[in-house]
Amino acid sequence: MGRKSLYFLVLGVLVACYIYTSPPDIFEEPWKLMLINVQLKTFVHLRKLDAHRRAVFFVHGGGWCSGSPALRNYDLLSRWTAERLNAVVISIDYRLAPKYHFPIQFEDVYNALRWFLRRNILENYGINPERICVSGDSAGGNLAAAVTQKLFSDSDANIKPKIQALIYPALQPLDLDSPSYQENSDMPILPKSLMVRFWSEYFTRDRSLEKAMLSNEHVSAESSHLFQFVNWSSFLPERFRKGHVYNNPTYGSSELTQKYPGILDVRAAPLLADDSKLRGLPQTFVLTCQYDVLRDDGLMYVTRLRNAGVQVAHYHVEDGFHGAISFPQLKISHRVINQYISWLKENL
Ligand SMILES: *[C@@H]1O[C@H](CO)[C@@H](O)[C@H](O)[C@H]1NC(C)=O
């Protein structure tokens, strides 16, 4: 007997063993029943294999006032992530400004995350509860960082993400004049004026907040203690501080922060969390771009997380600008997305 026929014989016996059951003689159509049984058995086996799938809970950007998982760039990103990681990607919608203001966006995302992180939901999707990432870009990075902080301080959240990934996140509206705001105030895609507009509209339609933010005088002296958490003079690496002089904040009247306390709320400004809160956070990926007003927010979070003992992977894109992942027609988009997905592949 040739080697090939031997293989076929062995294979045949194995298949027969997998299929064959011995139903009582009284059953009619025993072979059909056996085939149905095999289908069910196979389904259960495949489900078990799938139960080790990873998941990415993704929050899209767009200044809290635009964007959707259905936009072509986000849809492509979700598909690529799902394919390359064999992961389940949950890309969520949330209510947007100017119709809805903080904390609606935060709450929508947090509620969706809590809904998702339930054992029966994860089982339905075949997800391994120990391999979940919370991720987002820009305003979505802000929301991803904020809900992750909240989740890790929530004592009745049993299932927690393994890692978080923040792509050029916005992390604080207190100091809107850091070196990256100064250097990139006229950059394409996200000039300073637009970012200030996004921040102020996250809280209100009242244009007087935007005006005060533009002159960086929207926080009053009563909140001066919060500036220690966003002090670029102590948290930026030397090369990013170079050529800039740190001035202590200029304080405004307390009227605006009283009317819009969200400005000082850690759910809107994850950099305002104190070290004890940062200490419990999971391993973190932060991507920053050199030519981006939000660069220093990301850089400061990297320093603060590392100071608190959190493991951080920081990728700085030297020729990057805000929104770089969102333009599949540009080469840089693929380069940055590859870095992000490769990191997830290794760490999730
Ligand atoms: C910021 O840090 C610098 C030195 O690192 C310090 O001199 C300054 O007082 C700090 N300012 C605030 C508001 O924390």
The CATH number of whichever domain residue 54 belongs to comes to 3.40.50.1820
pLDDT at 146: 98
Best residue among 178, 231, 251 to mutate for probing ligand 1, ranked by most atoms within 8 Å of CB: 231
Q: How far apart are the first and last CA of the chain?
A: 49
pLDDT at residue 240 is higher than 70: yes
Among 35-44, 155-164, 183-192, the least confident range:
35-44
The three-state secondary structure class of 55 is: strand
228 ligand 1 Cβ < 6 A: yes
In a domain, 8, yes or no: no
Structural domains counted in the chain: 1
In a domain, 18, yes or no: no
pLDDT at 322: 98
In a domain, 197, yes or no: no
In a domain, 309, yes or no: yes
Alpha helices (runs of H) in the chain, residue ranges in sequence order: 3-19, 30-50, 72-85, 104-116, 119-124, 139-152, 179-183, 192-203, 207-214, 232-235, 238-241, 255-259, 275-279, 295-307, 331-347
In a domain, 97, yes or no: yes
Give the integer Cα–Cα distance in Å for 334 and 79.
Answer: 14
Alpha helices (runs of H) in 165-314, residue ranges in sequence order: 179-183, 192-203, 207-214, 232-235, 238-241, 255-259, 275-279, 295-307
pLDDT at 67: 98
pLDDT at residue 134 is higher than 80: yes
Angle at 116 between CA 56 and CA 72, to 5 degrees: 45
In a domain, 186, yes or no: no
Best residue among 232, 244, 248 to mutate for probing ligand 1, ranked by most atoms within 8 Å of CB: 248
pLDDT at residue 142 is higher than 90: yes
What global pTM score does this model have?
0.88
In tens, the pLDDT along 282-335 reads: 999 999 999 999 999 999 999 999 999 999 999 999 999 999 999 999 999 999
**Boundaries of domain holding 329:** 48-176+218-347
Q: Indicate the pLDDT class of residue 24, thresholds 50, 70 and 90.
A: confident
pLDDT at 22: 79
Stretch 103-123: mean pLDDT: 97
In a domain, 31, yes or no: no
Stretch 108-127: mean pLDDT: 96
In a domain, 322, yes or no: yes
Residue 94 near residue 112 (C-beta atoms within 8 A): yes
Residue 143 near residue 136 (C-beta atoms within 8 A): yes
> Average per-residue pLDDT in the chain?
95
Stretch 41-59: mean pLDDT: 84
Give the integer Cα–Cα distance in Å for 189 and 170.
Answer: 15
